[in-house]
Amino acid sequence: MDGQTIVERLEALEVGARSDLMKAAKRGQVTELRCQMEVCLYPDPHPDHFPKPNPDHAGRTKFDPRTKPLGPWEPSADHFPRLKKDGGREVRLGHRLCKRVDWTLNPASVPEWVVQSPRLCAGRFAAPLTSG
């Protein structure tokens, strides 16, 4: 997009230099600014359409700059298929909201600590999804 590198585009979105996302981009793991979650929830110009897996959805390439508090459409690194704390090094890019929703729609991506935690709402919802 207009000659900018991925790192330059992330800098323009005010992604911190020490963030996992920026480090992954500098290592070449992020090859395009595109939401890679199975379902991208970025607002569709056709509001009557229910979000569904669509790799060509125009919102997949739209990200908001970083703000405080953090917004749902900011770029976020997702360590997938294994969490960083479990030794995962693969990183995929997604909107913050899409990443959170992915945990509930894709039981394989729900971290074990979420399933095991009875105090987390996500754990209550994820447990039935991951059980037998």
Domain holding 66, by residue range, is 6-103
pTM beyond cutoff 0.75: no
Asked, for residue 122, whether it belongs to a domain, the answer is no
* Banded pLDDT at 122 (limits 50, 70, 90): very low
pLDDT tens profile 53-104? 566 667 888 899 988 888 889 998 887 776 676 777 778 888 988 888 877 7
Asked, for residue 128, whether it belongs to a domain, the answer is no
Asked, for residue 96, whether it belongs to a domain, the answer is yes
Asked, for residue 127, whether it belongs to a domain, the answer is no
* Residues 48 and 105: beta-carbon distance below 8 Å: no
Q: How many domains does the chain have?
A: 1
Asked, for residue 23, whether it belongs to a domain, the answer is yes
